[in-house]
Structure 1
Amino acid sequence: MPDLASTLDRPARMVFTNRVGGASSSPYDSFNLGGHVGDDSSLVRENRRRLASSVGLDPARIVWMEQLHTNTVTVVDEPSSEPVPATDALVTTTRGLALAVLVADCVPVLLSDHTHGVVAAAHAGRIGARNGIVRLTVEKMLDKGARPGTIQVLLGPAASGQRYEVPDEMAADVEKHLPGSRTRTLDGTAGIDVRAGLVRQLRDLGVSNIHVDPRCTIADDTFFSYRRDGVTGRQAGLVWLP
């Protein structure tokens, strides 16, 4: 069975996976949940079945996305046999419907307002975070009845600012659109800390109940990392209202 990397067990359930406990072979070893990275599709289905079993869900009740680094947010209210096309965030008010986000260095963002019955999952890579995917997700949650003061957010394992090296111009551009994200790496070069920028953005939106899993996917080989390995698998974040 997979080893769930972290869980925030509250009225809304939040789970992150790592790469341990699956059926896939190298370079996707072993708990790859991404169906778009070149892994055997039957093994990905088995891994997704194991994930669903581990958290007590029907695999058909997990909704996946076709993530394209957009800032598109989609509201869903029922299961989907295929990934929701061309979107990087999902919002639902349907109980028992789990929203999934796939990552391998990008920030998986899980949001819930169990008081008002709204949850969301967002894929916040450099481009999506720069272009407001999390802000737009919060706004969509508010449209569905959530309130900033009752939204809880969990930012999962991702590339840390200490190791996310980018050109100076890129760091400056992201900082312009996502203040608080520019940093220096361990080598003293320009870097981006997407999670730090998102925390500041969320607070500016009135969301203060924010939890950050500080683990770095580049440094920690129990996670998939695209920047470290190139061809690799994907871990997932799940959020749902039981």
Structure 2
Amino acid sequence: MSEVEVIQAKALAGVRHGFLGRRGGVSGSVHAGLNVGPGSDDDAEAVAENRRRATEAVLPGGQLVTLYQVHSADAVTVITRFEERLRPRADALVTDRPGFALGILTADCAPVLLADRQAGVIGAAHAGWKGALGGVTDSTILAMETLGADRDRIAAAIGPCIARASYEVDSGFVERFCADDPANERFFVDGKPGHAQFDLEAYVAHRLATAGIRTVEALGLDTYADPDRFFSYRRATHRGEPDYGRQISIIGL
């Protein structure tokens, strides 16, 4: 049995955290590995065991808290654990309470983990293109500040997500971003006629920096291009697979 792979960021040194891929789990078939997605068609017991393993690998004895992610810009403050079936519909979590393992599920979208070590405040955000454009990272920072964090001290890391070389979008997608800010044009390079390649990771890093986050680390890992290591919704779609797994990124105190 392979061990759970925990990818860490130097920017979050001293904080319990990890960006996990598909290594070290019990699922099989198209979900092979550490699939943590309750919304997938995978066996529920396998998903539960994978979630347990993921939590133990990052925050032993911690209580995993996740969301019903809806590509919004909404952040939830975690004060007490909620039942899995009552997960809030939101895309970011923050807390100042020890023992909670804040978890974000992705399969190409960008997971963002944040921490103000001095204040003892952490956050985790799910930044797909829609949430990133809507300001999910801004909402996370504001929610952290409500708990006593200071954005001058917050460090952030962007985990494995789909890279520009793998992320083809149409002209309407480009226009949506440029209508929000003409300077967003720099996050696209021309692709085939009527299409472009979008750099989601760079855009998320830009949003964090613009919000005043001084320490932003992008891991530069492409979920689409590394099938042995990561799940990818777009890759599964291109391969005509019936379903896809989700990986998790966790941060805890």
The normalised TM-score by structure 1 is: 0.92
Deviation at 1:197, TM superposition (A): 1.2
Matched residue, 1:68: 70
DSSP 3-state at the match of 1:169: helix
Runs of 4+ in 1 over 3 A off after TM superposition: 175-181, 185-189
Matched residue, 1:239: 251
Matched residue, 1:112: 115
Matched residue, 1:192: 198
Deviation at 1:184, TM superposition (A): 1.9
Deviation at 1:5, TM superposition (A): 4.2
For structure 1, the residue ranges without an aligned partner over 5 or more in a row are none
Matched residue, 1:202: 208
Question: Partners in 2 of 1:71 and 1:142 — Cα distance?
Answer: 16
Deviation at 1:155, TM superposition (A): 0.1
C-alpha contact 2:6 2:58 (8 A) present in aligned 1: no
Deviation at 1:224, TM superposition (A): 0.2
For structure 2, the residue ranges without an aligned partner over 5 or more in a row are 238-242
1:31 to 14, 30, 34: 34
Question: Partners in 2 of 1:152 and 1:204 — Cα distance?
Answer: 13
Q: Residues 51 and 184 of structure 1: is their aligned pair in 2 closer, same or farther, counting only changes over 3 Å?
A: same
The residue identity in structure 2 corresponding to 1:67 is Q
Deviation string, structure 1 residues 164-213 (Cα, Å, up to 9, x no partner): 11111212212443754631267684122121112112111111101111
DSSP 3-state at the match of 1:27: helix
TM alignment of 1:51-200, pairs within 5 A: 51-58=54-61, 61-82=63-84, 84-177=87-180, 180=184, 182-184=187-189, 189-200=195-206
Deviates more, 1:220-229 or 1:80-89: 80-89
> For the aligned residues, what is the CA RMSD?
1.9
Q: Residues 22 and 227 of structure 1: is their aligned pair in 2 closer, same or farther, counting only changes over 3 Å?
A: same
Deviation at 1:136, TM superposition (A): 1.2
Deviation at 1:236, TM superposition (A): 0.5
Number of corresponding residues: 240
Deviation string, structure 1 residues 53-81 (Cα, Å, up to 9, x no partner): 3234236x110111011111110112223
The normalised TM-score by structure 2 is: 0.88
C-alpha contact 1:91 1:118 (8 A) present in aligned 2: yes
The residue identity in structure 1 corresponding to 2:108 is D
The residue identity in structure 2 corresponding to 1:240 is G
DSSP 3-state at the match of 1:232: coil
Matched residue, 2:240: none
Matched residue, 1:217: 223
Question: Partners in 1 of 2:199 and 2:178 — Cα distance?
Answer: 10
Deviation at 1:142, TM superposition (A): 1.5
Question: Partners in 2 of 1:184 and 1:197 — Cα distance?
Answer: 13
C-alpha contact 1:184 1:191 (8 A) present in aligned 2: yes
More helix by share: 2
The residue identity in structure 2 corresponding to 1:118 is V
The residue identity in structure 1 corresponding to 2:231 is F
Question: Partners in 1 of 2:170 and 2:214 — Cα distance?
Answer: 31
